[in-house]
Structure 1
Amino acid sequence: MADSPGARTPRSDDHGSGGADGELRRALAVALVPQIDELTRRVVADIHAHSGTYASGAPVSRDDLWEICRDNLLRALEDFGGLPPSGGDFEYAARETGRRRAEQNVPLDTVLQAYRRGGRVMWQMMAEHLRATRAGRAGGTGQGRDPVGVVAGDRDTELDMAGAVWETIDRYSLVMAESYRLTQLEMQGRQDTRRVALFEALLDGRGDDPAVAAAASAALGVPVHDRYVIVVAAQDPAAPPNPAPVLDDHGIWSFWRPRSGRYAGIVRLAAGESGVLLDLLRHRTGATAGVSPEFDRLAQAGRALRLAEQALRTLPAGSGEAAAFDDRLAEVLLVGRPEIAERIVTTQLGAVLDTAAERDALLSTLRVWLDSGCSAARAAELLYCHRNTVLNRIGRIAELTGRSAESGEARLGWALALRALPLRGADGEPAPTEGYVG
C-alpha cells in the first residue's frame, strides 16, 4: 500500500456493530493504528525487496513512498474497522497515489503490485496480533479483557477477516487505477495541446528561434535535423480526414492538424520514400494534396508550408491528385498569375481551341508529341495511329497558330499553354482548383 490502499466512505452494512465480524474488525483496527509507523516501515521494506523500480529511489523517493504508504495504510485501517476517519475522505489517499504515480510515469502494474504487497503485510500484522491474543488466552491471561480475544478463536472468522482485507485492497486498487488513468488522459491532453501549439509555431515560421525548434523537436519526438516535407491536403468529404493512419501503416512518421480548412502535415522521410509518399497520397488516401520540396531543418517548415500550398493550388478541386512542388513549377507560376496564364493560352493555342471539330484530337496529339521529345514515331505508338497522322496534326497546329513546329520558342509556348489550359474553365474563367474555387 505504498501505494497501498486509500479507501472510500464506509457503508453501514460493512461495519455493523452488532456482529462478531464487525467487532473483530474494529478491534484489529484499534490494535494496529497505534503501530502505524511500524506497519509502514514493514510495508516500505517489503515493497523495496520486491520492486526494482521502487528500490531504485527514482522516480519515487523513499520519503515519497513512506508518506503516501502511511497515509494509505491509516485510511485503510480506519475504514476496515469502521473507525471515524482522521483525515477526511477515505478515497483521497488512493486517488492521490494514482495521480502522483501517473505523473511520475511509474507503470500501473508496478503500483498495483505495491498495493498487493501492502495488503499482504497488513494482514500479516493482523494475523500476528490474532496469534498473540490466542496464545494469551491459552495461558490464562487477558481472557475477557481484550475484545479480540472474545472472537479470535474461530478459524473461520479469521479466514473471513483475511477475505475482508483483500476485498479492501481490491476496492481501493480500483480507485487508485481509475485516478491513474484519468491523470494519464489529462497529461495526454496537455501534451497534445503543447504538441499542436509547437507544430503551429513551426508552420508560422517561428522555428528560426532555436528554443522553439528544440521544443517542437521534443514534443513531436523527431530530430531537429532530418529529412522532412510538408503536405497540405484538401479536406475532401470523399477522402479520409487525416492521412496519418495510411502513412503509419507503411512505417512513415507524420503529424497532422486541421489548418484553414485543410490538413497540414509534416512527414519524416527515409531515403527513397518521396515517391512512396506521393503514391500513398494518390492511391490510398484519395486526398488532393500538395507536397513541398524536402528540407532538413524543422526551422524551414514555415517556408515549406507555403510551397506545399502553392503546389496544391495547381490541382483541380476533388481530383484526388497529389503533386510535388518541384514537379509543378510551371503550373505554380501560372496559377499565381491567372491573367498571364489566360494570355498564354490565347496567344499560343487560341486558334486551335476555336476549331471545335479538331480541337480534342489536335490537343491530345500535341501533348503526347511534346512529352515524347517531339518524336512523331514515339507519339504515334502511344496514340495508336500512323506517324504521318501525328505529323499532319502537328502541321495543322503550326498552320493555325502561325508558328513553326521546329521552333523551340513555339514548343515552349505550346507546352506552357497546355499547362495553363486546365487552370481555366470552358468560358475562359479560372477553373475550379484548390486555390481558385470560384
Structure 2
Amino acid sequence: MADGQRETEDTARSLATSVLSGLDELTDVLVSVIGDQNPGYQLLDVVPRDDLWRSCHDNLRRVLQLVGRGADGDAEDCYDAARATGRRRAEQQLPLDDVLRSFRIGGRLVWQALTDQARATGHVLDDAMLDLATRVWEVVDAISAQVALAYHAAERSFVRADEQRRASLWEGLLQGRAVDAGFAYEAGRTLRLPVSGPYVVVAAAGSGDDEATEPLGTALEERGSASAWQSRADVLVGLVSLPGRDVAGVVAAVGSMLAVQAGVSLVVDGLAGVHVAYRQAVLAMRTVPPGRVEVVCLAERLPEALLLSSPELTESLQQNWLRGLLDLGGDERDLLLETLSTWVRTGGSATRSAQVLHCHRNTVLNRIHRIEGLIEQRLTGGDLSLELALVVRALPFLPPPRVP
C-alpha cells in the first residue's frame, strides 16, 4: 500500500473510531436536524420519534464503520440498517424522497463530525481529508441505494399483497360470502362501497383494463353511483351502488365507455346479494347475440335468459317448432327465419310484416305458407303460440346451418 493511501486509511479509521465513541450524542443532533430541515416527517407524522432515533443511530454507526473500514473487508454486512429503514419507511408510507433527504442530512453531519475531530487532533494532512471526503459521500450514496432498493421491494410486496387481498374479497363476494355481516363490512371498507342499499352487477365481455374502468367509474360517480371493478379471466365485473335505482343510467354509462357485449343484473339489496346479481349479469350478457355490441338489462331479456338457462328445453322447443326449417341451408334458411321472427313480433300481421321486411304482403304470406309446410304447424288463422314466441326469442342463438 502506498504511503498516501496508508495515511488516508489510518486517518479514516482513527477519526471514525473517535466519532463512534459519541454516537448517541451525534444521533440526538441528527434527529433534531431532520426535524428542522425535513418537514415531511412532521407533516405526515408516520414515523414515531423512537423509531427515527433508532434508525438514525443504526445507520450512523454503519456509515462510520464503512468509512473507517475503507477497502478492507466486505461492506455487505453493513447494509442491514439501511435495508431495514427502507422497508419500515415503505410500510409507514413515508415518501422515499423524504427518506433519502434524511440520509443526505446524515452524510453532512458525519462529515462535519469527522472534520471537527480532525481539527481537534491538529495533525491531519489536507490530502488525507480530501480523500476522506470522497469516501464519506461514496458510503452515503451506497447506503442510500440500499435504502431505495429495500423501499421499492417492500412497495412491490405491499402492492401484491393488496391485490391478492382485493382479489380474495372479490371472489368471496361473487361466491356469496357477504351474507356474513363481518365479511360484507370488510369488503365494503376495502372497496369503498356501502354494505347496504340497492346494487346491480355489470358483466362485460373481455377482461378490461384500467384505461376503461377508471373513466367508467368516474362517469357512474357523476350519476351518484359508487362502483368497483375487477378483471377476471374473460369478463370484467362491476359492482354499482344505485341510491336512486337508476338502472337505465348505468346502462347508458357502460354503453358509452365499453364497446363490448355487457349485461346488467336485476337490482339486489346490498353486498349480500352480489353473488346472485353476478350470475344474473353474466346471463344477461349471454343474451346479446354473437357479433353484436350491446349493453342489456336482465329485466328486459328474461325470456332469452330463461331459454339460455335451460339448453335442453330450448333445443326441444326448436325441434318441435322448426323441424324441417332448420334442415335448410344457405340464404333460404336465413330468409325464412327472418320472416318467421317478424311474423311473430307483428302478431301475425302480413301487412306490418311486409313493411318491416320491405316486400309485398303476398310475398310474406307465400313465405309463411312455405314455413308452415316445413314445420308442420299452422301460423295463420288464430293466435300464435307462446311456445313459438319463445322459439323466436331463441333464434339469435341457433347453431349455424349443418353443412350437407
Distance in 2, Cα, partners of 1:178 & 1:104: 16
Distance in 2, Cα, partners of 1:38 & 1:345: 90
1:198–1:216: 8 Å Cα contact kept in structure 2?
A: yes
Shift of 1:20: 2.3
The equivalent residue for 1:8 is none
- What is the DSSP-based 3-state SS (H/G/I as helix, E as strand, rest coil) of the residue aligned with 1:254? strand
Residue in structure 2 matching 1:31, options 18, 28, 31: 18
Residue in structure 2 matching 1:101, options 76, 89, 104: 89
The verdict on how the C-alpha distance between 1:78 and 1:226 changes in structure 2, with shifts beyond 3 A counting, is farther
The equivalent residue for 1:59 is 46
Instruction: For residues 293-325 of structure 1, give each alpha carbon's deviation from its aligned partner in whole angstroms, at most 9, with x where no partner exists.
Output: 344522211111222343455567898776543
One-letter amino acid of the structure 1 residue matched with residue 156 of structure 2: L
Higher alpha-carbon deviation: 325-334 or 392-401: 392-401
Matches within 5 A, 1:14-413: 18-55=5-42, 58-82=45-69, 89-130=77-118, 132-133=119-120, 146=121, 149-152=122-125, 154=126, 157-225=128-196, 228-231=199-202, 242-245=207-210, 247-248=212-213, 250-252=215-217, 253-258=228-233, 262-263=234-235, 265-268=237-240, 272-278=249-255, 281=258, 283=259, 290-295=263-268, 297-311=270-284, 314=287, 324-350=297-323, 353=326, 359-371=333-345, 379-394=353-368, 401-404=377-380, 407=383, 410=384, 412-413=386-387
The verdict on how the C-alpha distance between 1:52 and 1:267 changes in structure 2, with shifts beyond 3 A counting, is same
One-letter amino acid of the structure 2 residue matched with residue 178 of structure 1: L
The verdict on how the C-alpha distance between 1:103 and 1:157 changes in structure 2, with shifts beyond 3 A counting, is same
Instruction: For residues 83-122 of structure 1, give each alpha carbon's deviation from its aligned partner in whole angstroms, at most 9, with x where no partner exists.
Output: 899xx93111001101111111111111111111111222
Higher alpha-carbon deviation: 304-313 or 65-74: 304-313
Structure 2 gaps of 5+ residues are 218-227
1:230–1:264: 8 Å Cα contact kept in structure 2?
A: no
Distance in 2, Cα, partners of 1:29 & 1:250: 57
- What is the DSSP-based 3-state SS (H/G/I as helix, E as strand, rest coil) of the residue aligned with 2:30? helix
One-letter amino acid of the structure 2 residue matched with residue 119 of structure 1: G
Shift of 1:274: 1.7
Shift of 1:52: 2.9
Q: TM-score, normalised by structure 2?
A: 0.79
Shift of 1:371: 4.2
- What is the DSSP-based 3-state SS (H/G/I as helix, E as strand, rest coil) of the residue aligned with 2:85? helix
One-letter amino acid of the structure 1 residue matched with residue 177 of structure 2: R
- What is the DSSP-based 3-state SS (H/G/I as helix, E as strand, rest coil) of the residue aligned with 1:273? helix
Q: CA RMSD in A?
A: 3.7
Instruction: For residues 136-190 of structure 1, give each alpha carbon's deviation from its aligned partner in whole angstroms, at most 9, with x where no partner exists.
Output: xxxxxxxxxx4xx3324x2x54344333222221110100110111111112222
2:348–2:380: 8 Å Cα contact kept in structure 1?
A: no
Which has the larger share of helix?
2
Instruction: For residues 360-410 of structure 1, give each alpha carbon's deviation from its aligned partner in whole angstroms, at most 9, with x where no partner exists.
Output: 433212323444576655543443323443355446656852243652xx1
Q: TM-score, normalised by structure 1?
A: 0.74
One-letter amino acid of the structure 1 residue matched with residue 254 of structure 2: L
How many residues are matched? 382
- What is the DSSP-based 3-state SS (H/G/I as helix, E as strand, rest coil) of the residue aligned with 2:45? coil
Structure 1 gaps of 5+ residues are 1-12, 134-145, 235-239, 429-438
Shift of 1:34: 1.3
